[in-house]
Amino acid sequence: METKPRSADWRSILLIIFGLSGTLLTIGSAIGIMIFMAANENFLMQLNTPAIASILTASTLITIGLLLMPLTWLSVKRLRGGEFDSLILPPLRPWTWIAIPGLWLLVITLASLFHDAPGAAWYLPILHFLSIALPIYLVVRIATNRISLGSTQRAWTVFGIGMTLSPLLAVIAEIFMLGLGVLVIAVYLGFNPETMAKVEYLIEQIDQAPDMDSLVYLLGPLLKNPLTLLTALTFLSFLVPFIEESAKSLGIWLVSDRLRSPAQGFALGVLSGAGFALAESLSASLTVDDTWGVTLFVRAVSGSMHMLATGLVGWGIAYARLEKRYFRMIGMTLLAILLHAAWNAGAIFTIAGGARTMFAMPDFDFVGVLLAFGGMGLLLVLMSGMIVAFFVINPRLRTPSLPLPFPAEIGEERRISPLEEQDGGVE
């Protein structure tokens, strides 16, 4: 049980402010979007902006706002002296192993077939949410099975921060890095007038392209340039993984002084990654077209990468906090970044190879085919490895091991042994 701390619980006060402001901001923004749509329907039609994208944006904001409400309520309860049992998720029932994947595939199919049917605006937000949330929920249950997450408040704190602050900080950092890259390119072009003239001419030609064939002709040489691929790999497979894995671990660092075991560090890391994956995937799948089903499928699968990577980081943080194994923390963090980098590289190779192959038609582009199949093969290997990893790591972590020292803190929970913690012995 967790009881009211002896001193003022400043963390709960901050979490109440965070939860309330986040809920009001997201739901208020969603209402603002819907009001703007209703008042400016003709303006949106002139911009050729699909209304469904705005509706999905609003529903995503509402979802995030609603998921912050339990954190606020639990923090108020904690501040009023409420008690919390240690949250331990039991194993999934056998029938859910078929029901959840089956329901997910059904939802993806419905989203693919009926995304443009009359009245789609009424049910697409539900399909959108379930397409992303169902696989995330399944992976969370597999990864955290019978591992204590600490108090319910702690679990919702890590999830809420992973869903809101982590993506926000990651986006700000990525925009900053993009701006820095643009500045470097601008300086380079400023000292190379001939190259700048070529770039301006290319932009003008792209803007005036009369059809898709002309656009393909213009972009083909740029895509085949190895520098283009190298630039994409540098940003998406080096900078982005480093930024996002740093941001996703924020919630775990905030509760690191209350971690009970390496198992708990891994489980909370998975939970933080789940929040990040939910927000990112919902936000990245707002464009509804004929490929929407494929987009939802890919975004849902990529959530597993985020959860495993952040789980590794949380595992390492717990080792550093409880056993002073700082090199193990560094190693696990680097492994998480490498996993993220490999996943992004697979996606880049697949997209670049497919585009090269399409631009080369009717000719055969061997490099393009090699890149496409190599990228798809890498993604397939990573997906298979991640599935195996979750089923291997969880039993290992919830197996009793030698006792670990507790971090010093002021009467937060009943002091149970790590054997109880990892076995799920807290009732």
Give the Cα separation of 72 and 69 in Å (integer). 5
Cα separation values, 11 from 8, 90, 127, 197, 270, Å: 9, 28, 36, 56, 22
C-alpha 81 chain-centroid distance: 34
Name which residue leads in pLDDT, 50 or 417. 50
Instruction: For the beta carbon of residue 92, count every other beta carbon within 10 angstroms.
Output: 15
Question: How would DSSP label each residue in 384-412?
Answer: HHHHHHHHHHHHHHTS--S--PPPP-SS-
pLDDT digits (tens, 9 = 90+) for 235-269: 888 899 999 999 999 999 999 988 989 999 999 99
Mean predicted confidence (pLDDT) in 279-300: 89
Mean predicted confidence (pLDDT) in 329-345: 95
Assigned token pair, 351: 């997209």
At 414 the pLDDT is 38
At 421 the pLDDT is 42
In sequence order, the β-bridge partners of residue 88 are 148
CA atoms within 13 A on the CB side of 370: 3
Q: Read off the DSSP letter of residue 132.
A: H
For residue 318, the one-letter residue type is A
Domain borders along the chain are 1-83, 89-423
- 113-135 burial, b at 16+ Cβ within 10 Å, e below that, comes to eebeeeebeeebbebbbbbbbbb
Cα separation values, 247 from 166, 213, 300, Å: 5, 41, 20
- The region of weakest confidence among 163-167, 194-198, 290-294, 336-340 is 194-198
Instruction: For the beta carbon of residue 232, count every other beta carbon within 10 angstroms.
Output: 17
Q: What is the pTM (predicted TM-score) of this model?
A: 0.85
Mean predicted confidence (pLDDT) in 18-35: 93
Rounded (10°) angle between helices 262-283 and 152-163 = 40
Give the Cα separation of 376 and 346 in Å (integer). 6
| Phi (first) and psi of residue 2, to 5 degrees | -105, 130
At 223 the pLDDT is 67
Q: What is the CA radius of gyration of the chain?
A: 24
